[in-house]
């Protein structure tokens, strides 16, 4: 079906809740803006989306996603440009990725008119919720749920697509400490590691809780056959600067999320002439590089965290502490460059930025 943005029903709030926000103290994921978008899929077609006041949802206890996790999501961010207008960073890439997740999870494609036009309309309506402070943004969370009222195990036939938005501050306030995981597994070839399926995050809670008790912030996931090749850290893609080369695991085995920030970082580095490699990277190679003084920088990338420097990495008894981040050339340059593009301070030569 094709829905133009004019086909969205809009029901506005009577009184905005924006006064409840302290602009000087915005935390990630705590507050939600005035409106949300909802669209239903049934009988093989999407209905007309609605923008309504933010509200709770009610479901039958027999609803599919509650039992079998047929649920996927995305993470996108909007920023205020220097003129005070909201701009959204690379939403088309998130739209395409959502539909890759949808295919793997036996869910329907979300049309561009609902995902992109709906998002633009929603952000435009709640434009006052896009914060302006340093390191702040409006985090946009599109998601899809299977909503058949049936507890037999089969792909659902009815779905809900929803977008909510949330003013956000930094995800991490300081560089992260990482524990290299060699017991639990996040993803394996042929699995769903490349998707943003809810289950990928649910399965990580127990191992994350264990390492947090040990004093670490995040897990560095390794492959499920040998626990040798690194995959992602926590919910982020991971990069290591070894000598003069930036290395990140390749995404060819369905185990690694094709991060939009990951792709942006690779593009910016290649354009700057930095040597970049996407390939299998073993924890042994990282350890050797560290002990030879060649591991210069390491960072995670993701929409929520943007670029998160890693201050230390622990593998068994080996605690690898990286040099002081203030001197990291590549990470600091990338942070600045990406921020300049996202906040519309620098010319957008890649067509990454979308106005609302
Ligand atoms: C994102 O960076 O958008 C993520 O996926 C992290 C999120 C689960 C908080």
Q: Is residue 140 part of a domain?
A: yes
Ligand 1 pocket member 300 (CB < 6 A) = no
Ligand 1 pocket member 75 (CB < 6 A) = yes
| Dihedral-angle region of residue 215 (phi above 0 means left; psi in -120 to 50 means alpha; beta otherwise) | left
pLDDT category of residue 133 using cuts at 50, 70 and 90: confident
Judgement on whether residues 67 and 44 belong to the same structural domain of the protein: yes
Percent of the chain with pLDDT over 70: 98
pLDDT category of residue 170 using cuts at 50, 70 and 90: confident
| pLDDT over threshold 80, residue 180 | yes
Mean pLDDT throughout 308-331? 95
Pocket probe for ligand 1: among 98, 302, 308, the residue whose CB has the most ligand atoms within 8 Å is: 302
Ligand 1 pocket member 302 (CB < 6 A) = yes
The angle subtended at Cα 276 by Cα 270 and Cα 279, nearest 5°, is 135
DSSP at 314: E
Q: Is residue 202 part of a domain?
A: yes
Check which CATH number belongs to the domain holding 326 and give it: 3.20.10.10
Mean pLDDT throughout 93-117? 98
Kindly report the pTM of this predicted structure.
Answer: 0.96
Judgement on whether residues 182 and 226 belong to the same structural domain of the protein: yes
pLDDT tens profile 28-75 = 999 999 999 999 999 999 999 999 999 999 999 999 999 999 999 999
Mean pLDDT throughout 334-338? 96
pLDDT tens profile 225-274 = 999 999 999 999 999 999 999 999 999 889 999 999 999 999 999 999 99
| pLDDT over threshold 80, residue 96 | yes
**CA 130 to ligand 1 center in whole angstroms:** 18
Judgement on whether residues 256 and 331 belong to the same structural domain of the protein: yes
Atom of ligand 1 nearest to the CA of 303: 2
Judgement on whether residues 9 and 107 belong to the same structural domain of the protein: yes
- For residue 6, the model assigns a pLDDT of 57
Query: Are 154 and 41 contacting, i.e. CB atoms less than 8 angstroms apart?
Result: no
- What is the domain count for the chain? 2
- For residue 1, the model assigns a pLDDT of 42
**CA 57 to ligand 1 center in whole angstroms:** 22
Q: Is residue 355 part of a domain?
A: no
Check which CATH number belongs to the domain holding 107 and give it: 3.30.470.10
Judgement on whether residues 62 and 184 belong to the same structural domain of the protein: no
pLDDT category of residue 127 using cuts at 50, 70 and 90: very high
Please state whether beta strands 50-53 and 71-73 pair in parallel, antiparallel, or not at all (unpaired). unpaired
Residue nearest to atom 4 of ligand 1 (CA): 304
DSSP notation for 227-288: S-BEEEETTEEEEEEETTEEEE---TTS-S---HHHHHHHHHHHHHT-EEEES--BHHHHHH
What is the extent of the structural domain holding 274?
176-342
* Average pLDDT over the chain, rounded to an integer: 95
Q: Is residue 351 part of a domain?
A: no
| pLDDT over threshold 60, residue 9 | yes
């Amino acid at each position: 079906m094709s829905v133009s943005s004019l086909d969205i029903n809009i029901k506005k709030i009577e009184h905005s809740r924006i006064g409840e926000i302290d602009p000087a103290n915005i935390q990630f994921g705590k507050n939600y803006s005035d409106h949300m978008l909802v669209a239903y899929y049934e009988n093989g077609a999407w209905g007309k989306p609605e923008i309504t006041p933010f509200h709770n949802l009610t479901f039958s206890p027999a609803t599919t996603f509650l039992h079998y996790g047929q649920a996927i999501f995305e993470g996108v961010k909007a920023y205020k440009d220097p003129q005070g207008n909201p701009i959204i960073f690379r939403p088309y890439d998130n739209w395409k990725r959502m539909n890759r997740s949808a295919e793997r999870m036996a869910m329907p494609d979300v049309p561009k008119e609902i995902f992109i036009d709906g998002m633009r309309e929603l952000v435009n309506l709640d434009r006052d919720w896009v914060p302006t402070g340093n390191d702040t943004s409006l985090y946009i969370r599109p998601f899809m749920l299977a909503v058949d009222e049936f507890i037999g195990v089969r792909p659902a036939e009815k779905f809900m697509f929803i977008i909510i938005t949330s003013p956000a501050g930094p995800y991490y306030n300081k560089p992260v400490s990482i524990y290299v995981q060699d017991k639990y597994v996040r993803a394996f070839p042929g699995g769903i590691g490349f998707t943003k399926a809810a289950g990928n995050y649910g399965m990580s809670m127990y191992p994350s809780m264990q390492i947090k008790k040990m004093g670490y912030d995040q897990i560095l996931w390794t492959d499920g056959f040998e626990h040798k090749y690194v995959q992602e850290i926590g919910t982020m893609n991971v990069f290591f600067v070894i000598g003069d080369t930036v290395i990140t695991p390749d995404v060819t085995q369905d185990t690694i999320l094709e991060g939009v920030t990951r792709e942006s970082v690779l593009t910016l580095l290649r354009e700057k002439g930095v040597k970049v490699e996407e390939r299998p990277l073993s924890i042994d190679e990282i350890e050797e590089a560290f002990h030879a003084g060649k591991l210069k920088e390491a960072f995670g990338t993701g929409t929520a965290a943007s670029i998160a420097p890693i201050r230390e990495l622990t593998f068994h008894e080996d605690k690898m502490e990286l040099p002081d981040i203030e001197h990291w050339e590549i990470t600091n340059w990338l942070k600045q460059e990406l921020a300049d593009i996202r906040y519309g301070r620098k010319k957008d030569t890649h067509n990454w930025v979308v106005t609302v």
